[in-house]
Structure 1
Amino acid sequence: MLAAIRSTDRQLAKGLAAGTPPLLHRTLSAVEEAAESTKLWCGAAAVMAAAGGWRGRTAATAGVSAMMLAQLVSNGLCKQLVDRERPPEQWFPHDEAKDRPESSSFPSGHTAAAVAFTAATAAVWPAAGAVCAVPTALVAVERVQSGAHYPSDVAAGAAIGLAVAMLVRRAPRLVLGWWS
């Protein structure tokens, strides 16, 4: 079973790298640059907090809290426990594969942060979450297309993001009883 997952991972990564049209490649690169160091999500939170009233501030707080916790879990814990090499550079016919982190490939911290932010935001303000879902999906695709991750790394990052968003959504009720 593990061999089948690895084989599928390789095939999907190679196929996405080779089959991405130039316009999509440029779009994915621009979205990744915006998402680097959580700039995109912090910007979205600032807009929500400034323009969304109570709901916007609550959604921004939930999103940023979930994003930070997801990064802690994915980058601070999981990457330390699972030492997985990044996909081979030669699979990717572009220069982005040369500009990859040295850390473990598993899981995708970018995807974990993006999914956590979006899912936590959507639980409070569904319309804002729907808007955030587009760049979140693009970040996930870009992480494979750029050569930074295997698809299973991205899937694991998404699972971490969803779990963290659920925890952030439920934690205040459990601890303080104030989140509705």
Structure 2
Amino acid sequence: MSDPLPLEPPDAHPLEPVEERLARRLERGEVGAGARSRRRAASLLHRLARYDRAVFRSVAQMQTPLLDEPLRRASVFANFSKPWFLVAGVVALLGGPLGRRAAATGLAAIGTASLVVNQPMKRAGERRRPDRDDLGVPHERRVSMPSSTSFPSGHSASAAAFAVAVGDVLPALRLPLRVAASVVGFSRVYTGVHYPADVLVGATSGAVLGRLVSRAARRTGFLPE
């Protein structure tokens, strides 16, 4: 069976995707490991890059016009973490002392995720944004293309960090917040501004950081055990 997408020439896009760049470093012997291990790792990275683009194309080709406007709006509304600041305000206003602490913990998680993902991780990834024309994203669902690098997704990281941190404090909100975070993450692929791997890594990083922030808040006594 042939690969779902052809490999690009090695120097066609020096910053895209991150898997290909790492694979070429392995192939050139720039990473210390045995030759056989480097070949296996490089092959896996090439395969992951192709699958990533294949999934992106599959989402782009979805015939779901009823989702275009809702997901486009969700993607735009998630800029600057607006949904999570809104939820934090409502939780702080209506949730009593524990709600205020949960809101503060969630905002701290967003700040931590933004600092980690939007600075060192994006700089290390250096992945260009998807070419929506080449990959077939319909114009009706597109949003403005961010100027930052693509890997990982800051929107997904902030959403996951807030959902996990607040959900740890207020379990009743765990499911709705995680569903909302998932919608935001999917909307970033659907509108063509991120590859699936960007969202997956961003969400995973955000979830881990959100959990660490909530645990730190408990250990310092800010949250009850």
What's the TM-score bracket when you normalise by the shorter of the two chains?
over 0.9
Instruction: From 115, 124, 140, give the equivalent of 2:185.
Output: 140
Q: Distance in 2 between matches of 1:162 and 1:38?
A: 15
Q: Distance in 2 between matches of 1:4 and 1:11?
A: 10
User: Corresponding residue for 1:106?
Assistant: 151
1:130 and 2:175 correspond: yes
Q: Distance in 2 between matches of 1:138 and 1:157?
A: 14
- Segments of 5+ residues of structure 1 without an aligned counterpart are none
Q: CA RMSD in A?
A: 1.6
Larger relative contact order (C-alpha < 8 A, sep ≥ 6)?
1
Give the ranges of 4+ consecutive aligned residues of structure 1 lying more than 4 Å apart after TM superposition: 95-98
Q: Distance in 2 between matches of 1:98 and 1:47?
A: 28
Paired amino acid for 1:85: R
Whose helix fraction is larger, Structure 1's or Structure 2's? 1
Conservation of the 8 A alpha-carbon contact between 2:76 and 2:143: no
Conservation of the 8 A alpha-carbon contact between 1:31 and 1:135: no
Conservation of the 8 A alpha-carbon contact between 1:20 and 1:145: no
Aligned residue pairs, count:
179
Q: Distance in 2 between matches of 1:33 and 1:163?
A: 25
TM-score by length of 2: 0.75
- Segments of 5+ residues of structure 2 without an aligned counterpart are 1-43
Give CA deviations for 1:81-129 in whole Å, capped at 9, x if unaligned. 2111111121212255572112111000000000000000100001122
TM-score by length of 1: 0.93
1:157 and 2:192 correspond: no
Structure with higher Rg: it is 2
Describe how 1:83-98 pairs up with structure 2 within 5 A: 83-90=126-133, 91=135, 92-94=137-139, 97=142
